[in-house]
Structure 1
Amino acid sequence: MSDKQINQEHRFAKIVREQTFEDGRELNVLNFGPTHPSTHGVFQNILLLDGERIVDAETTIGYIHRAFEKIAENRTFYQITTLTDRLNYCSSPLNNMAWWMTVEKALGVEVPKRAQYMRVIIMELARITDHLICNSILGVDLGAYTPFLYVMKYRELAYEIYEEICGARMTTNMGRIGGFERDWSEAAWRKLDEFLEGFPKAWSELEDLFLRNRIFMDRIVGVGAISAEKAINYGFTGPNLRATGVDYDVRTAKPYSSYEDFDFVIPVGESGDTYDRWCVRSAEIKESLKIIRQARDNMPSGSYHADVPDYYLPPKDAVYNEMEALIDHFKIVMGEIPVPIAEVYHSVEAANGELGMYLITDGSRSPFRLHFRRPCFVYYQAFPELIKGGLFSDAVATLSSINVIAGELDA
């Protein structure tokens, strides 16, 4: 083999070839992904194994790179919403709300209290559906499939609520600059009440199946642990950081959308392992339910959108029947209304951590620059350190517990 060919090899291949053990053992290289069923997305981990134990690991991304940030520079502000849908597609409405709040910050738009409370309901509902998937799928990855099927019907009910509000289920394109496109229907509120009535009992039953289950605990307690100091150094946020004992949450550190009006606690763990991450997400689901009930019971009166005719799309009935409304609709959609020059950063507590949007406008129809701070992209860097020294089966559980969503890796 030539030197050129050796240089083109992955570094693990060279280690395998050169490493020798007196007892005859051999190291092996395993591709964990990019399409492995347990990666829950298109990304790859190259593992160096001594038997079933992981000696070293290297993460690779880029398999679904879509250049969202560059595409945004050639789209109007309304057209960018569909890009945010596809970051964390397990909680799309949360991404939508983050985008609208960023734009409103640049425009100086004051959102009515009612619209803010409605956004809180949607964001917490999205957090629940995201955590529901993460925690129940961890059970699937360890061989417990039935609980996942049991709670999935409530994710479907949440999707039905989304459908009543905006007509879509998974990639929602929900909301508008200043609030919502329309007020919520009676069916949406009825389905929300149905969710609040049935889901808590179902989730408590799932907790009972897992929380003190000896097999479940033996598989994940102490697995994939990280210290608070290392988590902060890596840039962890969200449940993965709070599982280490750090109680940072954007909703309380930098309140937005009237979160300061709500009474809730920030669940934290201690060891930063897979079990603590599961427990923190489970506790957050209960806190989200508390927040939704408070917003539902104390919903302010008033409008569901701000009075910003230059940026808020006129009602469809008016667009179909009035020339002035049709012109306004065209001007807004095509981005012909000037956007003030601004440089803003806004972040929300997304399901996986701090989702930030850094927006620079230059007065044109599209952003001059838009950068997404995707929490999954940040903490996925730590995955090799989390799994080194552990078993391959532990790597599956660890990856599932940190909840890496491939859509946030390649923006």
Structure 2
Amino acid sequence: MANKIQYDYKPEHLNISEPNKYKESDLKSEQMLLNIGPQHPSTHGVLRLEVITDGEIVVDVIPHMGYLHRCFEKHAESLMYNQIIPYVDRMDYLAAMNSEHVYCMGVEKMLGITDKIPKRVEYIRVLVSELNRLASHFLAIGTFGLDIGATTPFLWLMRDREHILRLLEWASGARMLYNYIWIGGLYYDLPVGFEERCLEFINYLKPKLREYEGLLLENKIFVERTAKVGVLPLDLAVNYGITGPMLRGSGLKYDLRRVDGYSVYPELDFDVPIGKGEMGTTGDCWDRTYVRARECWESVKIMEQCLERLTTDLKRDKSFDPQAAVPKRVRPKKQDIYFRGETAKGELGFFMRADGRSDKPLRCKVRSSCFVNLSVLSEISKGCMIADLIAIVGSIDFVMGEVDR
């Protein structure tokens, strides 16, 4: 029989190794312990929030992970490098192309074949990754609006996300978990007519993006619910290792596509949007949403440049083989490597250790942006109201498949 929970809020006496951080005896008489989650719809995944409240005010919040157990890292150590790709898809399943891209580039660096990847392959990789970044941001912005009561933006964004998923399914054969980007190449070249259809979608989407900004970002109710809420100061973000739109929302122009310049991103022209506190305070919920919305425009700009190259200098050739540089056997030399890239949610990094004798990694460790970004929740939620806590959780944009690896 489970022990009775006891309640007296004395942080200096708490033992963080306990399953529950707080007991009833640790709380003041006017405080209460609430559990939010792990119901899936309420918390963007199987996440449990242990919340200490004083009336409507949040005194502290402790996120508890461990309800999903993907076990990706240990599983990867029992698989050959090329067999790991489908499991990479299942971490951030909302932006699987981005994760595949980073993982494959990491293994290619281990093999020393980075310079052998055909340019057409590189541009296709960036094109599908930016399409997937758009789809991820659409879901993040739409569900964030839904969290605080806005139904219409969610429905409209899901409608346009569906166009993207159909394009990616046409290219890869799968709707969400693609296994399309391979070590050394691609599973297929783009289908005939894909570039033209993608350009049609871009022309359709541009006026829609402006519509969404007016519908949500400039909405008086949305601004009042998100401005000056969940403020993440830049120094705190850096100290916690926050990356992606959350870090840029706090005002730092830091994007690994620019900083590390991997793949063909150095050849492309795009900006890195940052939060400026236009509606409230730099680093608040509104700024994080604004950065994701502006990144949608930048992804469209990148896609246009990729399509221009793919239909002119790198246009389709019947003799082109997207698997020409795919190694017959993936067996890297003995080494340790860490490779990182910018996914829709931040820095995704893979540490891998090869022993030089096996087709499987000796060790695999993932640096998840979702896990790191979620860790700052307690710091930016203290003193807010319970309704604001839901908005803060939504503004972080995490996927539990990547958190609980």
Aligned mate of 1:35, from 12, 34, 39: 39
1: CA distance, partners of 2:157 / 2:52 = 36
Aligned mate of 1:380, from 361, 374, 378: 374
Give the alignment of 1:315-326 within 5 angstroms.
none
2: CA distance, partners of 1:250 / 1:306 = 27
Instruction: Give the conservation status (yes or no) of the 8 Å contact 1:38–1:400.
Output: no
- The corresponding residue for 2:24 is 14
Q: 1:4 to 1:275 in 2, by over 3 A?
A: closer
Matched, 1:60 2:69: no
2: CA distance, partners of 1:356 / 1:286 = 25
Amino acid of the structure 2 residue aligned with 1:83 = Y
- The corresponding residue for 1:325 is none
Q: 1:144 to 1:371 in 2, by over 3 A?
A: same
Quote how far apart the aligned CAs of 1:304 are: 5.6
Amino acid of the structure 2 residue aligned with 1:144 = A
1: CA distance, partners of 2:196 / 2:43 = 36
- The corresponding residue for 1:295 is 306
Deviations 1:356-406 (A, max 9, x none): 111111120211111111101111111011111000110111111110211
Quote how far apart the aligned CAs of 1:95 are: 0.7
Matched, 1:70 2:63: no
1: CA distance, partners of 2:188 / 2:19 = 57
Q: 1:15 to 1:168 in 2, by over 3 A?
A: same
Matched, 1:82 2:110: no
Matched, 1:160 2:166: yes
Instruction: Give the conservation status (yes or no) of the 8 Å contact 2:250–2:274.
Output: yes
2: CA distance, partners of 1:229 / 1:12 = 28
- The corresponding residue for 2:119 is 113
Quote how far apart the aligned CAs of 1:4 are: 10
Aligned mate of 1:213, from 212, 216, 219: 219
How many percent of aligned residue pairs carry the same amino acid? 37
- The corresponding residue for 1:314 is none
Quote how far apart the aligned CAs of 1:142 are: 1.1
Matched, 1:393 2:403: no
More helix by share: 1
Give the alignment of 1:198-237 within 5 angstroms.
198-237=204-243
Normalised by the size of structure 1, how large is the TM-score?
Answer: 0.88
- The corresponding residue for 2:348 is 355
Deviations 1:230-251 (A, max 9, x none): 0000001110000111111100
Instruction: Give the conservation status (yes or no) of the 8 Å contact 2:337–2:353.
Output: yes
Aligned mate of 1:188, from 191, 194, 208: 194
Instruction: Give the conservation status (yes or no) of the 8 Å contact 1:45–1:60.
Output: yes
> What is the DSSP-based 3-state SS (H/G/I as helix, E as strand, rest coil) of the residue aligned with 1:247?
coil
Quote how far apart the aligned CAs of 1:40 are: 1.1
Matched, 1:178 2:184: yes
Unaligned runs of 5+ in 2: 7-14, 277-281
Amino acid of the structure 2 residue aligned with 1:352 = K
Aligned mate of 2:145, from 120, 139, 145: 139
Instruction: Give the conservation status (yes or no) of the 8 Å contact 2:243–2:369.
Output: yes
Quote how far apart the aligned CAs of 1:191 are: 3.0
2: CA distance, partners of 1:309 / 1:277 = 39
Give the alignment of 1:207-286 within 5 angstroms.
207-270=213-276, 271-286=282-297
2: CA distance, partners of 1:373 / 1:196 = 32
RMSD: 2.0
Quote how far apart the aligned CAs of 1:348 are: 0.9
Instruction: Give the conservation status (yes or no) of the 8 Å contact 1:89–1:170.
Output: yes
Instruction: Give the conservation status (yes or no) of the 8 Å contact 1:164–1:187.
Output: no
Deviations 1:42-77 (A, max 9, x none): 011100111111011111101011211111111011
Q: 1:197 to 1:65 in 2, by over 3 A?
A: same
Normalised by the size of structure 2, how large is the TM-score?
Answer: 0.89
Deviations 1:169-222 (A, max 9, x none): 111111212121221112432431232121222221111111221111110101
